[in-house]
Amino acid sequence: MGNSVDLRCAFHYSGSLGGGDFAEVVPLSPHLLAFYLVDVTGHGDAVQGFCPLIRAYMRAVLCTGVSPLPPEALLQCMNQDLCSRGHGLSTFAIWFAVFDSERRILRYSSAGHPPAYLMEPVRRSVGLRFWERSRPARESLTARALSCRTPAIGMVPDLRFRGADVAVHHGSRLYLFSDGLYECADAPDDWNLTALVDLLRERDGEAARGGRPADPSALMQEVEGRMGRAGFDDDVSLLTLHFP
């Protein structure tokens, strides 16, 4: 892409259970980049066999060489197709987006999936003391939740999916993860989605000051430490995207 996106990812798979987390990045043109994260419900051989079908469907639709469907239209087609088959295929959560580097717009949709979080710098002016001629503005981070609050794919037929646009400023970073990163049976009571987002905001600020994107593997290890255990109950995926 003209302005390359720095994408990093980390995955944890729950041993022999055979889970269904996977992600993919698909360049659509010199300035359009599609990416998504899928979390299939359940574990086992059936789930692992279902994942390639989803991946093949996405590639078939995305790699047509024509103008891509809006994310919400693609998810609506997938949902209707899966519901109409009616032969016991699993349901799945998905967060899907297309980034346009020329317009600096991210178009996204989601189904049954946690929000992605866009970390953006916010500059606030600071009042001058009477002896100061100037003072640099303070910079902080805001974590914008990107979610469409729609049920998982395959649960409700004839469902209308929603999409949304968000402007992506230079230097912004996106965090995309599955719910296994904050849902754990024996985790401390104060470990939840809010605590995870606070951690991401803190580590993102440190990484930004160092001129680098946050390391998803290191973040995942720190989450394990916060939970007081090694490993997770479920598959876990964490993607970080830096938009120069």
8 A C-beta contact, residue 31 and residue 5? no
Q: What is the pLDDT of residues 199-212, one digit of tens each?
A: 999 999 888 877 67
pLDDT tens column, 79-89: 998 888 765 56
- Residue type at position 242: H
CA dihedral 85→83→147→237, nearest 10 degrees, is: -40
Cβ distance 219 to 227 under 8 Å? no
Burial class (CB in 10 A: 0-12, 13-18, 19+), 18: middle
Task: Indicate the pTM of the whole model.
Answer: 0.87
State how far Cα 79 lies from the chain centre.
19
Over 80: is that where the pLDDT of 8 sits?
Answer: yes
Compute CA distances 12 → 64, 132, 139, 187, whole Å.
Answer: 32, 52, 34, 17
* Residue 126 pLDDT greater than 50, yes or no: no
- Name all domains of the chain by residue range, CATH numbers in brackets: 6-125+137-243 (3.60.40.10)
How far are the Cα atoms of 85, 140, 193 from residue 43, in angstroms, in the given order?
21, 41, 23
How confident is residue 188, by pLDDT bands cut at 50, 70 and 90? confident
pLDDT at 2: 46
Sorting pLDDT into bands at 50, 70 and 90, what band is 124? low
